Amino acid sequence: MLRPRITPCLLIKDKGLVKTIKFEKPKYVGDPINAVKIFNEKEADELIILDIDATIHNREPDYQMIKNLAVECRMPLCYGGGVNTLEQFTKIISLGVEKVAISAAAIKEPMLISQAAAMVGSQSVVVVIDVKKRRFGGKYEVFSHNGEQSTKLEVVNFAKKIETLGAGEIVINSIDRDGSMQGYDLKLVRLVRDAVNIPLTILGGAGDHGDFKELFRQFGTIGASAGSLFVFKGKYRAVLINYPTQMERDKIITI
């Protein structure tokens, strides 16, 4: 990662674009292909697309949907959802996707990280860590299956393991901040940033451009991702796909 990046994250459920709050109550907000077209026009740095149904329902990735998205997308694309095998990794890459993200599979079959890195290159292997702060003790715990399953894993130790296994990037996804638009959990970011050296992207909580700027001010070259900020507009959360202009981005990433 040569410079800070600002990355929209799109959630897909039943082939539709949805948004959640704390991983719950998905709200339909539009068609994924239309959203990709708009982000193309706005020249987004990169795009993360996560199918939140696939792992929960133990089904294969929807390869036709992925192909349609990849064909339309004119920016680097990261896809996650339902990926459990090396064969799925390579098939998704063959469809024109630059990066493949795994979450539950990284917990269940951590050696998949090393195998995929050897096959497609570590730069194409992303691990999404869904994190929730424990009510008692304040420690950060890794969850899986859309935040439904506790793993008892502590986030820093798990992040270190992921790096050792050869992942090229980690996405830290705060369950507590998801959809809140109240700012990133900078304490969580600091814990992980101090523990690993591979690129990080932070997801969960961004409410305005100031949250990006503060993230970059504190951590320098890091990825800032958001969902609600890029699909909602105004205090009434009207659905409107948006993304900062190049001039706005230049101001945001000035650190």
DSSP states along 56-77:
TTT----HHHHHHHHHH--S-E
Q: Supply the pLDDT for residue 99.
A: 98
Rounded to 5 degrees, φ, ψ at 88 are: -65, -40
User: Which token pair is 143?
Assistant: 């969850």
How does 26-39 read in b/e, with b if 16+ C-beta sit within 10 Å?
Answer: bbebbebeebbebb
| Each residue's pLDDT tens digit, 209-252 | 999 999 999 999 999 999 999 999 877 788 999 999 999 999 99
Q: Which residues does 164 contact at the CB level (< 8 Å), separation at least 6?
A: none
| Each residue's pLDDT tens digit, 165-179 | 999 999 999 999 999
Dihedral, CA atoms, 60, 61, 65, 70, nearest 10 degrees? -150
**Residues with catalytic annotation?**
130
Percent of the chain with pLDDT strictly greater than 90: 90
Looking at the predicted structure, is the pLDDT value of residue 1 above 70?
no
Percent of the chain with pLDDT strictly greater than 70: 98
Helix (H) or strand (E) holding 127: strand 125-133
Whether 222 and 1 have beta carbons less than 8 Å apart is answered as: yes
Q: Which residues pair with 11 in a beta bridge?
A: 18, 50
Which residue do the tokens 């709050």 mark?
21
| Each residue's pLDDT tens digit, 6-30 | 999 999 999 999 999 999 989 999 9
Cα 199–Cα 201–Cα 202 angle in degrees, nearest 5 = 140
pLDDT band at 132 (very low <50, low <70, confident <90, very high): very high
Q: Where do the domains of the chain lie, and which CATH numbers do they carry?
A: 5-252 (3.20.20.70)
pLDDT band at 137 (very low <50, low <70, confident <90, very high): confident
Whether 100 and 49 have beta carbons less than 8 Å apart is answered as: no
Average pLDDT over residues 124-141: 92
